[in-house]
């Protein structure tokens, strides 16, 4: 009896004092955001490409935010675990998701447990790695025109990663836009495997980020034919863009920061500003340069959100056409 | 070779040697701890290396990589918990030895075999990288398929539980490898709608469950037994006779490990498993395997460390990493502005030789540390079971959770703990299951990829010389012992 009484009493005191405590907290929150360490959730394991991007960005970020940043690795379900983790946190801007196209695909396929595409709010883009059409040195098609002409006549073999994954969709979209036959897909575990099989001639072509087979391109074992980007890439100045050859096809591997819908507008603006600023540091620029990605990779909300929207629209259509949507 | 000595000289600065020493010590430590691996550690320290000069940075990461592979064997031997997946095979024979009170002998052998394997592969790296790197190009899906079949051909023989039981356990392993999203169709298999299973069953929790948790349950059933322990024997290092016996195994392990390490799609774990099979196949004491054969430690340990040097070949010469850790080392190289590729060998040989030199130094450092610490570590086996095993379980849970931060992995570990316990009770060995799990994915994916490449013509395999050679070796090695047996039986009958 006595215990319940004290319990009730304690609760009441707490309730009574709550507004007193909350008022300055709210004030402080308006003055200062972030007020505690920011978590950056990634679906990549420690050491994965996305994880490394997060860690490179974070070298400068704590100084900008005046708070620590912590990488949280939630591997599993192709981004579903990372999204679920973010959804379990308050939407106050202290939880950032490092979003890739893989996350969007997972949402499109209805595997993100209650998270819809509209819940994703882009904050800043971190990397944009254009896709480039490449062939092995033994390929009979040495120019983009010759390759496209041949690909209209016959069904070629393209190396990609996971069937139904981002690379597969890019190949599908590219083939449609270029008006070539939908190629046979040979899936591999990663870009390195694809590069090796291009050299040995097991596959006819692949869409790869220019940094993946860099050594092979330098050695002349892999030949880049066509850049699927708005403009030519600095490291491949002699490779024409799709537009120059006569059709529009833009595909890239992108990573960037996002939050879940519900974060106040003023906080979004702070996040955007400071993230973009910390990714303009020499160290991060050096990271972009050394991995062959353009410095224009870093972009704010408008550009990033538009790109996410475009991928969402294209991806849905492609998944339906491929019959892998669920 | 002269240039190489120049590179070794370059490393002899006190500062670099200190960095390599720290890296080695750190590597042994994280390698031994389940849940912290060499790849996790190098990823966490990658931003730190950005501020170092290129040689120091890569020497540091390289030292962690070399030492972590050795460190994994320490816990595999002492408490049946492979600290690193590549050390899982070491537990097959290492733990029975430790349980017999010969922990020091097992640990000492692991240190020596690891060092020999490591140094062998670094020497191969120095001499033959440009040559070997082209070799990676001749390995496509059909060749990997042939290699996986070669590895699986010994499935019935490992474990020492009889061919039928080993095959059953092996098939279970292959079946487990099927769980997750299928690479070639994008369809989820056996996931029961659980997001934790989409990417397949993680390897580390299965190992920890099969080995450590199963052992804990086993120990719990024998609480009232008093175990007689001989403190002095536990710390004894291997004798000259041991090394004579294990020499052939170390040789097989060093060569196979380097070869498999060079192949970008395969790493130290596969190297150790295939070596274990081959060491057993060519051993005169087959019956000892699985019960504490010193050759069963020497071969795989030489192999997983020589795979380290091997996997640096495609990383440095092709820019294609052969393992999780080399992927991080590659990122470290790129951030430092070093572009990997064949040109590295002509343009920046000094840099390369300094890296090789530091790997060599790391191997020697962990040999000294390993032998010195073996006596100390061996004392762990003297801790009473009632204290030791609960502590192991505690570490295992953290170890299973940490890499992916997923509770699903902890459940997996506990389930496989029960599976491992039931296996023992009914005379099954976990060895073929582990083998099936490691090689199952490779055998399935490479077969499907091959058939797509061959336009579904099975005869396509016959047009690939490397694959045909591997198939032929598999068949010969599989059939020869049967023929020998038949021949011997016939002679015995004739003599009678």
pLDDT at A99 (0 to 100): 95
Mean pLDDT of A228-232: 91
**Phi and psi dihedrals of B76, rounded to 5?**
-60, -45
Mean pLDDT of B100-120: 92
What one-character-per-residue DSSP string does B128-167 give? HHHHHHHHHHT--HHHHHHHHHHHHTTTTTTTSS-HHHHH
What's the pLDDT tens digit per position in B74-85? 989 988 888 888
Q: Is B196 touching A (CB cutoff 8 A)?
A: yes
3-state secondary structure of A179: coil
Whole-number percent of chain A with pLDDT over 70: 89
User: Which of A123-137, A183-197, B372-386, B438-452 is predicted least confidently?
Assistant: B372-386
Give the model's confidence band at A1: pLDDT under 50 very low, under 70 low, under 90 confident, else very high. very low
What's the pLDDT tens digit per position in B8-45? 676 667 888 899 999 999 999 888 887 678 888 888 88
* A192·B321 Cβ contact <8 A: yes
Residue, of B5 and A106, whose pLDDT is higher: A106
Of A80, A187, A215, which has the smallest distance from its Cβ to B183's Cβ? A187
Nearest residue of A to residue B455, measured between CA atoms: A184
List Cβ neighbours of A313 (8 Å cut-off, separation of 6 or more): none
Give the model's confidence band at A12: pLDDT under 50 very low, under 70 low, under 90 confident, else very high. very low
A75, A105, A204, A210, best to mutate vs chain B, most B CBs in 10 Å: A75
Of B195, B321, B331, which has the smallest distance from its Cβ to A52's Cβ? B331
User: b/e string for A157-176 if b means 16 or more Cβ within 10 A?
Assistant: bbbbbbbbbbbbbbbbbbbb
A57, A58, A196, best to mutate vs chain B, most B CBs in 10 Å: A196
pLDDT at B161 (0 to 100): 67
Chain A CB contacts of B314 under 8 Å are 192
Is the pLDDT confidence value at A224 over 60? Answer: yes
Supply the mean pLDDT for chain B.
86
Nearest residue of B to residue A44, measured between CA atoms: B404
Whole-number percent of chain B with pLDDT over 70: 95
Q: State how far the alpha carbon of B147 is from the alpha carbons of B144, B283, B324, B361, in Å.
A: 5, 21, 21, 32
| Chain A contacts in chain B segment 231-250 (CB below 8 A) | none
User: Which of A90-99, A163-172, B14-23, B224-233 is predicted least confidently?
Assistant: B224-233
User: Which of A165-179, A267-281, B401-415 is predicted least confidently?
Assistant: B401-415
User: b/e string for B370-407 if b means 16 or more Cβ within 10 A?
Assistant: bbebbbebbebbeeebeebbeebbebbbebbbbbbbbe
Chain A CB contacts of B181 under 8 Å are 78, 162
**Topology given in CATH for the domain delimited by A130-245:** D-Maltodextrin-Binding Protein; domain 2 (3.40.190)
- Rounded to the nearest angstrom, the minimum Cα separation between A165 and chain B is 8
| Chain A contacts in chain B segment 284-313 (CB below 8 A) | none
* B46·A187 Cβ contact <8 A: no
Is the pLDDT confidence value at A156 over 90? Answer: yes
* B183·A73 Cβ contact <8 A: no
pLDDT at A189 (0 to 100): 85
Mean pLDDT of B104-127: 92
pLDDT at A309 (0 to 100): 95
pLDDT at B231 (0 to 100): 56
Which residue in A22, A314, A254 sits closest to A125, CA to CA? A254
Residues B349-354: contacts with CB within 8 Å, 24+ apart? B349/B3, B349/B7, B350/B3, B350/B6, B350/B7, B350/B10, B351/B54, B351/B55, B352/B7, B352/B316, B353/B3, B353/B4, B353/B6, B353/B7, B353/B8, B353/B10, B353/B126, B354/B7, B354/B10, B354/B11, B354/B16, B354/B55, B354/B59
Domain boundaries, chain A: 36-128+253-322, 130-245
Q: Return the structure tokens found at B105.
A: 């002998």
Of A45, A55, A291, which has the smallest distance from its Cβ to B403's Cβ? A45
Of B40, B183, B264, which has the smallest distance from its Cβ to A162's Cβ? B183
Nearest residue of B to residue A195, measured between CA atoms: B320
* A157·B453 Cβ contact <8 A: yes
Is the pLDDT confidence value at B456 over 90? Answer: yes
CA dist., res. B272 & res. B202, Å (int): 18
Supply the mean pLDDT for chain A.
86
Mean pLDDT of B327-344: 81
pLDDT at A6 (0 to 100): 40
What's the pLDDT tens digit per position in A111-150? 888 899 999 999 999 999 899 999 999 999 999 999 999 9
What one-character-per-residue DSSP string does A205-242 give? EEEE-TTTTHHHHHTTSEEEEEEESSS-BTTBTTSPBH
Residue, of B377 and A267, whose pLDDT is higher: A267
Q: Return the structure tokens found at A113.
A: 């447990």
* A215·B140 Cβ contact <8 A: no
pLDDT at B388 (0 to 100): 84
* B449·A168 Cβ contact <8 A: no
Q: Please state the ipTM of this predicted complex.
A: 0.83
Tell whether domain A36-128+253-322 is in CATH 2.40.160.10.
no
Which residue in A238, A235, A241 sits closest to A214, CA to CA? A235
The total of other beta-carbon atoms located within 10 Å of residue A153's CB is 9
CA dist., res. B334 & res. B320, Å (int): 12
pLDDT at A20 (0 to 100): 43
CA dist., res. A199 & res. A196, Å (int): 5
- Rounded to the nearest angstrom, the minimum Cα separation between B348 and chain A is 15
> Which residues share a beta bridge with A160?
A187
CA A271-A273-A276 angle, to 5 degrees, is 100
Q: Return the structure tokens found at B293.
A: 């054969």
Is the pLDDT confidence value at B6 over 90? Answer: no
CA dist., res. B367 & res. B345, Å (int): 29
Instruction: Tell me A292's DSSP state.
Output: T
Q: State how far the alpha carbon of B487 is from the alpha carbons of A84, B284, B474, B484, in Å.
A: 64, 18, 20, 5
CB pairs under 8 A between A and B: 150
What's the pLDDT tens digit per position in A21-79? 444 444 444 558 889 999 999 998 776 778 888 888 888 899 999 999 998 888 878 88
pLDDT at A18 (0 to 100): 43
- Rounded to the nearest angstrom, the minimum Cα separation between A154 and chain B is 14
Q: Return the structure tokens found at B115.
A: 């060092």
pLDDT at A23 (0 to 100): 45
Does the bond joining A34 to the residue before it have cis omega, within 30 degrees of 0?
Answer: yes
CA dist., res. B142 & res. B463, Å (int): 10
3-state secondary structure of B440: helix
Chain B CB contacts of A74 under 8 Å are 404-406
- Residue A321 burial (10 A CB sphere; 0-12, 13-18, 19+): middle
Q: Is B444 touching A (CB cutoff 8 A)?
A: no
Is the pLDDT confidence value at B224 over 80? Answer: no
What's the pLDDT tens digit per position in B132-160? 777 888 889 999 999 999 888 878 777 66
Is the pLDDT confidence value at B496 over 80? Answer: no
* B403·A200 Cβ contact <8 A: no
Chain B CB contacts of A219 under 8 Å are 341-343
Is the pLDDT confidence value at B311 over 50? Answer: yes
Which residue in A324, A170, A78, A321 sits closest to B186, CA to CA? A324
């Amino acid at each position: 009896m006595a215990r319940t009484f004290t319990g009730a009493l304690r609760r009441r005191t707490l309730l009574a004092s709550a507004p007193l405590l909350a008022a300055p907290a709210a004030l402080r929150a308006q003055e200062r955001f972030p007020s505690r360490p920011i978590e950056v959730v990634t679906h990549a394991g420690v050491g994965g490409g996305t994880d490394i991007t997060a860690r490179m960005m974070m070298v400068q970020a704590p100084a900008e935010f005046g708070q620590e940043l912590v990488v949280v690795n939630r591997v599993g379900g192709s981004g579903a675990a990372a999204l679920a983790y973010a959804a379990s946190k308050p939407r106050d801007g202290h939880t950032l998701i490092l979003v890739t196209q893989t996350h969007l695909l997972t949402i499109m396929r209805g595997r993100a447990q209650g998270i819809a595409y509209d819940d994703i709010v882009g904050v800043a883009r971190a990397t944009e790695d254009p896709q480039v059409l490449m062939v092995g040195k033994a390929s009979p098609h040495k120019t983009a025109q010759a390759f496209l002409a041949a690909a209209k006549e016959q069904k070629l073999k393209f190396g990609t990663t996971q069937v139904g994954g981002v690379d597969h969709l890019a190949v599908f979209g590219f083939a449609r836009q270029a008006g070539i036959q939908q190629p046979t897909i040979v899936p591999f575990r990663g870009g390195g495997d694809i590069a090796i099989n291009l050299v040995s001639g097991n596959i006819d072509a692949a869409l790869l980020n220019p940094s993946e087979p860099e050594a092979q391109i330098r050695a002349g074992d892999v030949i880049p034919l066509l850049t699927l980007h708005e403009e030519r890439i600095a490291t491949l100045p002699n490779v024409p863009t799709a537009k120059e050859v006569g059709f529009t096809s833009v595909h890239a591997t992108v990573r960037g920061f996002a939050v879940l819908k519900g974060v106040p507008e003023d906080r979004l603006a702070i996040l955007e500003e400071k993230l973009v600023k910390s990714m303009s540091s020499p160290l991060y620029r050096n990271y972009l340069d050394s991995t062959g990605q353009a410095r224009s990779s870093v972009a704010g909300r408008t550009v990033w959100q538009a790109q996410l929207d475009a991928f969402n629209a294209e991806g849905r259509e492609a998944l339906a056409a491929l019959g892998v949507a669920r | 070779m002269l240039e190489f000595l120049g590179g070794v000289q370059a490393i002899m600065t006190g500062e670099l040697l200190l960095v390599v020493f720290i890296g080695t010590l750190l590597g042994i430590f994280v390698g031994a701890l389940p849940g912290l691996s060499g790849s996790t550690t190098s990823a966490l320290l990658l931003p730190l290396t950005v501020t170092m000069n290129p040689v120091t940075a890569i020497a540091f990461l390289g030292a962690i990589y070399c030492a972590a592979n050795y460190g994994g064997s320490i816990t595999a031997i002492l408490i049946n918990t492979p600290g690193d997946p590549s050390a899982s095979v070491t537990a097959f024979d290492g733990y029975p030895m430790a349980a017999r009170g010969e922990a020091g002998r097992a640990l000492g052998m692991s240190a020596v075999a690891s060092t020999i394997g490591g140094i062998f592969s670094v020497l191969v790296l120095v001499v033959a990288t440009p040559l070997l790197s082209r070799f990676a190009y001749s390995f496509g899906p059909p060749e990997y398929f042939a290699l996986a079949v070669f590895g699986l051909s010994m499935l019935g023989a490992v474990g020492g539980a009889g061919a039928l039981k080993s095959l059953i356990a092996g098939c279970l392993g292959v079946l487990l490898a099927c769980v997750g999203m299928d690479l070639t169709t994008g369809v989820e298999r056996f996931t029961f709608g659980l997001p934790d299973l989409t990417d397949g069953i993680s390897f580390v929790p299965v190992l920890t469950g099969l080995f450590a948790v199963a052992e804990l349950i086993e120990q719990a059933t024998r609480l009232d037994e008093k175990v007689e322990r001989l403190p002095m024997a536990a710390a004894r290092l291997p004798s000259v006779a041991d090394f004579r016996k294990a020499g052939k195994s170390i040789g097989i392990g060093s060569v196979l490990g380097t070869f498999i390490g060079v192949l970008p799609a395969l790493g130290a774990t596969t190297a150790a498993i295939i070596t274990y099979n081959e060491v057993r196949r060519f051993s005169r004491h087959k019956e000892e395997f699985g019960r504490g054969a010193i050759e069963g430690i020497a071969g795989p340990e030489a192999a997983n460390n020589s795979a380290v040097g091997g996997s640096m070949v495609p990383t440095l010469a092709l820019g294609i990493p052969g393992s999780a850790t080399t992927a991080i080392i590659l990122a470290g190289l790129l951030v430092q502005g070093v572009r990997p590729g064949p040109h590295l060998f002509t343009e920046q040989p000094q840099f390369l030789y300094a890296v090789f030199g530091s790997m060599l130094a790391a191997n020697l450092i962990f040999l000294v540390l390993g032998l010195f610490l073996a006596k100390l570590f061996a004392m762990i086996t003297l801790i009473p079971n009632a204290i030791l095993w609960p502590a192991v379980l505690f570490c295992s849970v953290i170890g299973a959770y940490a890499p992916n931060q997923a509770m699903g992995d902890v459940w997996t570990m506990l389930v496989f703990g029960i599976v491992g316990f039931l296996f023992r009770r009914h005379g099954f060995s976990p060895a073929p299951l582990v083998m099936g799990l490691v090689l199952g994915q490779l055998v399935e994916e490479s077969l499907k990829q091959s058939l797509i490449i061959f336009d579904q013509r099975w005869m396509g395999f016959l047009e690939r010389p490397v694959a045909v050679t591997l198939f032929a070796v598999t068949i010969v090695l599989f059939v020869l012992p049967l023929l020998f047996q038949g021949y011997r039986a016939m002679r015995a009958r004739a003599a009678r």
